[in-house]
Amino acid sequence: MPIFVDRRLNPKDKSLGNRQRFLKRAREELKRSIRDRIRTGKIADVDSEHAVSMPARGTGEPSFSDAKDSGRRQHILPGNKHFAPGDRVPKPGQGGGGSSPGKTVSEDEFRFVLSREEVLDLFFEDLELPDMVKLNLKEILSFKPRRAGFAATGSPTNINVGRTMRNSHGRRIALRRPKQEELDAIAEQLAILEAEPQSAAPARQRIAALREELERLERRRKRIAYVDPVDIRFNRFDAQPVPNANAVMFCLMDVSGSMGEREKDLAKRFFVLLHLFLKRRYDRTEIVFIRHTHEAQEVDEETFFYNTQSGGTVVSTALEEMRRIIEQRYPSNEWNIYAAQASDGDNFVTDSERCIGLMDGQIMRLCQYFAYVEIIDERESHIFGSTDNGTSLWRAYSVVNQRWPNFQMSRIANAADIYPVFRQLFARQPVLQKSA
Amino acid sequence: MASQTSKSGQTSKAGQTSKSGLLFSGSDWDFKTLSRAYEAIEAIAIEELHLDIYPVQMEIISSQQMLDAYSSVGMPLMYRHWSFGKHFLYQELLYRKGGRGLAYELVINSNPCIVYLMEENTMALQALVTAHAALGHNHFFKNNHLFRQWTDASAILSYLDFAKGYIARCEERHGVAAVEAIIDAAHALMEQGVFRYRRPPKLSSERQREGVRERLEYEERSYNDLWRTLPRSKDGTKASGTDLGIAERKKTLKLPEENLLYFLEKNSLVLEPWQREIVRIVRIVAQYFYPQRQTQVMNEGCATFVHYTLMNMLFDRGLISEGAMLEILRNHSNVIFQPGFDDPRYSGINPYALGLDMMQDIQRISTEPTAEDRDWFPDIAGNGNWRETLLDAWANHRDESFIRQYLSPALMRKWRFFILADAASEPHYEVASIHNERGYEKIRAGLAQSYDIGASRPDIQVVDVDLLGDRQLRLEHKVKNGITLEEAGRDATLRHIRTLWGYEVSLAAIDAQTGGTLNERSTSQIGE
């Protein structure tokens, strides 16, 4: 008699520790891979699983092994069809149909999948987010159970007694389950008959008939249960996502010639971070991309990041466009509106006044939050520091910043500077819920 | 009540099964049926095949757990290391892509013999797996001389438990990175970390190990070179220059030494006690798997032969239905599939196929031999007792000697074996021998040779170390047939040896025929 052990319920993921160790070892290369993906992929796709190829450095397992291209050796192979001793077979070239053994894909050339959590960990790494924020962003939408009718299966705690008894009653009527009263009546009759001393034949027959009837009814009662499993109904619950309003995120970016690869890369991360935040808070988030030079237009993500356009810089056109789109498609009583703007700060001097006007007049009233980053050269960062003088757009927005608490602005030179722009957003979450 | 009726319905169904005489019907399994099947199979195996087995422990696992077991070299517990994570990702990928199905079972050479069964298997498969692993492999583990002498089935699980805990404690105390560095280095030498010729010492019990460790820790705390009372010998350095000194030194260090891990563990100048213990753990794991690697064809052949024979016997006795038997045969023929060398699916000789064919061939030779067989195998041909012949072969051979002894010309013809000579200097291969009268001996010897791990792995030994001089560790690689080491791997491995040894390491390539030095590589040339 063998011993049986059921291990299926043992804790899963026994290899998780090893997996983490491996990822840690390959961290640098994985990070680069994630960064490439952010550069080339879509903003909305960042927080999902991601296949990466096996990092080459740091994960090799060397050992002494024979060099394939040296010496003399023999291969013993099965399936000879027409060879005779002395026949010569040309060696296969690179990738040719192989006759030499050992042609399987090596373990070092494969791609594997990082989970969403692992991708986000790598993405957050040089953004220097506080841990609390990281946790918040990784959290998946919460669900609330909501009553949704009845079900024939469920856990005992969810039994709906009313429904169950109603079904039971119907079934008992349909199958004509004898009632207790009927039984009692017959038993009473029997008792009366038996109590009488005389034993006339018809009376005895009557007693026997009654007994039989009583027995039949009792058997029937036993066969037809009072409450049968088929009667039982359970309350059914649906996992309902916690109701959230919709959000729309406007990405505004200056695409004139002065925005180079580095600037666009930083801008993209800025947008990704805001999008992650919105995606966590809202059921449905949409993204609108508006690019501008001296004129603005709504474009798709591809065009937004990869097409360059020549022209001057008139920021107010983008704001106008944004306002127009809000009016047309995103009524502010239905949508939470967020905006993120990235620019190098260049603007026509006369236009900056117009921007202040637009912001004060309409846009800031419509927006939940408006974040502006000015991407500057790393060498410039220590010159500007926190001074208020700077580009014309910076000076204009400084005015807006003083009047509106939901406006944030910052100069960023590298990825770690991005987070402070959002600090407020993450700090006071409940207040931001719109009372629509 | 209805629930009761449904239950009694089940029992009546099971009752029907036993009435019809079948061990099981349908594809679902439960523990009762597994147990019934095991007992029937075991009874036949002992009665008809005279198998001798360890007690069996069957464990039901899910596919996820099977993947876990894959990545920790098939052991139920293993210390933590990133390389296992890497293997896991690789296996998982192959599995997810459907490139490779999971094994139906996994069996561990321990006492009791642990057999993993996958929960997804149908009952027919579970029966097949039971015969294959719980009886075939189990018998082989218990009786083959390599396993009997070289591994300690009853101690391995408790040893691995100790190893896992010990390495975890080291990680806490010294940091994951420091522990990883040692394991990385030791893993690189696993191939060179086994005793090939002499028997390894038996694993000591947990308490003994505890004692040794305490003593080491005490020595570590209390050792101080200041209190050395023996006077340093003045002529020590002089003597070491002479041949006599070298011979003496080699003798005290027991050089040459083929087990590099053992040598480093005992003689390294820089390793701390806990690092030595880790090297030892890796070495013992390597040693444990050494017999398995030498007996692939035999082990799988034995298990496949056992399951095939037992399943047919069960079927003949009417214990298995035709449907189940068909399913078993389909799986069986998948397992023993062997494409020819020019087939794109060819990836080497399938040990299941070769093993089963050889076992069945031995059965044929001993019961109905041809004249040729009498010529080649005078001692077993027609002896009529195939059971004892097979039991004897299973007990006393490893792949290399087994093939050398039992591969028959009939089988070579069936497989259409041929030898392809491959010289790196030539632009073409040359067919050296085929399955004809002149080729049989050569093919048999060649095939046996290819299963000889000692011959097919690079032969690297520690030959000398100058403890009083520059402390350089000198290794020697015997180059056979001009096959040199792959350079990137060699350099990286030498770096790992330097980590363990603490000083420079050099590796000389010596031609095995002429004895001349082909080249010499030292870690001082490699750099970081």
Using an 8 Å CB-CB cutoff, list chain A residues near B129.
none
Strand partners, B511: B479
Chain B nearest-CA distance from A61, in A, is 7
Query: Length of chain A in residues, anyone?
Result: 436
In B73-132, where does DSSP find H-type helix? 82-97, 123-129
State pLDDT tens for residues A53-65.
766 666 778 888 8
Question: What average pLDDT does range B66-78 have in this prediction?
Answer: 77
Domain that holds residue A49: 21-55+111-122
Strand partners, B507: B475, B521
A10 in a structural domain: no
- Both tokens of A70, joined, read 């040296």
Among the listed residues B443, B482, B357, the one whose alpha carbon sits nearest the alpha carbon of residue A75: B443
pLDDT digits (tens, 9 = 90+) for B205-223: 555 666 666 666 666 555 5
**pLDDT tens digit sequence for B216-272:** 666 655 555 445 455 555 444 444 445 666 677 777 777 788 888 888 888 887 888
Same domain, residue pair A284 and A329: yes
Model confidence pLDDT, tens digit, residues B78-89: 888 888 888 887
3-state helix, strand, coil in chain B (%, to 5): 60, 10, 30
Mark whether B360 and B438 lie in a shared domain.
Answer: yes
pLDDT value at residue A101:
41
In a domain, B258, yes or no: no
Tell whether B488 lies on the interface with A, counting CB pairs under 8 A: yes
Residues with Cβ within 8 Å of A391's Cβ and at least 6 positions away in sequence, in order, are A344, A345, A346, A347, A374
Residue where a domain terminates, one of B397, B423, B454: B454
Tell me the pLDDT tens digit for each residue of A277-322.
777 767 677 888 888 888 888 888 878 877 777 777 788 888 888 8
Q: Is B466 exposed, middle or buried (0-12, 13-18, 19+ CB in 10 A)?
A: middle
Number of domains chain B contains: 2
Where does B98-232 show beta strands of DSSP type E? 105-108, 113-118
Low-confidence ranges of chain A (pLDDT < 70): 1, 12, 43-44, 47, 54-58, 93-110, 126-143, 198-199, 241-245, 281, 283, 380-389, 423-436
- CB-based contact A272:A38 (threshold 8 Å): yes
Chain A residues inside the 8 Å CB shell of B462: none
Q: Are A283 and A377 members of one domain? A: yes
Provide the strand spans (E) within B438-481. 459-465, 473-479
B348 in the same domain as B306: no
CA closest to A59 among chain B residues = B83
Q: Assess whether pLDDT exceeds 80 at residue B163.
A: yes
**Are A268 and A223 contained in the same domain?**
no
pLDDT at residue B15 is higher than 80: no
* Token pair of B479 as six digits: 């180059």
> What residue numbers bound the domain in which B385 lies?
336-454
User: How many domains is chain A built from?
Assistant: 3
Which chain A residues have a beta carbon less than 8 Å from that of B481?
Answer: 71-73
CATH number of the domain at A372, please.
Answer: 3.40.50.410
Contacts of A70 in chain B (CB under 8 A): 424, 482-484
Contact across the interface for A6 and B60, Cβ inside 8 Å:
yes
Q: Do B421 and A63 touch (CB under 8 A)?
A: no
Same structural domain for residues A225 and A301?
no
- Give DSSP secondary structure letters for A279-301: HHH-SEEEEEEEEESSSEEEE-H
- The whole-chain average pLDDT of chain B stands at 81
Residue B290, in any domain of the structure: no
Half-sphere exposure of B71 (CA within 13 A, CB side): 31
Is A309 inside any structural domain? yes
- CB contact, 8 Å: B106 with chain A? no
> Is a pLDDT exceeding 50 seen at residue B4?
no
On whether both A223 and A281 belong to a single domain, the answer is: no
Q: Per the domain annotation, does B159 fall within a domain? A: no
> Do A211 and A316 share a structural domain?
no
The per-residue pLDDT for A388 is: 58
Which residues have CB under 8 Å from A36's CB, separation 6+?
none
Residue B481 to residue A73, Cβ atoms within 8 A: yes
Residue B43 lies in a domain: yes
Say if A6 is an interface residue toward chain B (CB within 8 Å): yes
**Axis-axis angle for helices B176-188, B273-294 (nearest 10):** 40
Q: Do B424 and A69 touch (CB under 8 A)?
A: yes
Last residue of a domain, one of A235, A257, A278: A235
Q: Minimal Cα–Cα distance from B222 to chain A, Å? A: 35
Of A107-116, B383-392, B424-433, B501-510, the poorest mean pLDDT is in A107-116
Asked whether residue A253 falls in the same domain as residue A328, the answer is: yes
Q: Is B132 a residue whose pLDDT tops 50?
A: yes
**Span B5-23, average pLDDT:** 47
Please report whether residue A89 resides in a domain: no
For chain B, percent of residues with pLDDT exceeding 70: 84
ipTM of the complex model = 0.77
Which of A63, A78, A97 shows the shortest C-beta gap to B349? A78
Residue B149 has pLDDT above 90, yes or no: no
pLDDT for res B17: 45
My answer on whether A207 and A331 are in the same domain is no
Asked if A76 and B446 come within 8 Å (Cβ–Cβ), the reply is yes
DSSP-derived letter for residue A50 is: E
Neighbours of B425 (CB within 10 A): 9
| CA B17-B20-B25 angle, 5° bins | 40
H or E segment and range at residue A240: strand A234-241
Q: How many DSSP H helices and E strands does chain B contain? A: 25, 9
- In chain B, residues with a C-beta closer than 8 Å to the C-beta of A9 are none
Judging contacts by C-beta atoms under 8 Å, the chain B residues touching residue A53 are none
> Which segment of A98-102, B309-313, B384-388, B401-405 scores lowest on mean pLDDT?
A98-102
Single out the residue in A215, A235, A255 at which a domain terminates.
A235
Please identify, among A122, A144, A179, the residue that sits at the C-terminal boundary of a domain.
Answer: A122
A189 and A311 co-located in one domain: no
Same domain flag for A277 and A172 = no
Distance, in Å, from the CA atom of B406 to the CA atom of B387, rounded to the nearest integer, reads 15
CA distance linking residue B161 with residue B459, whole number of Å:
32
Q: Within a domain: residue B504?
A: no
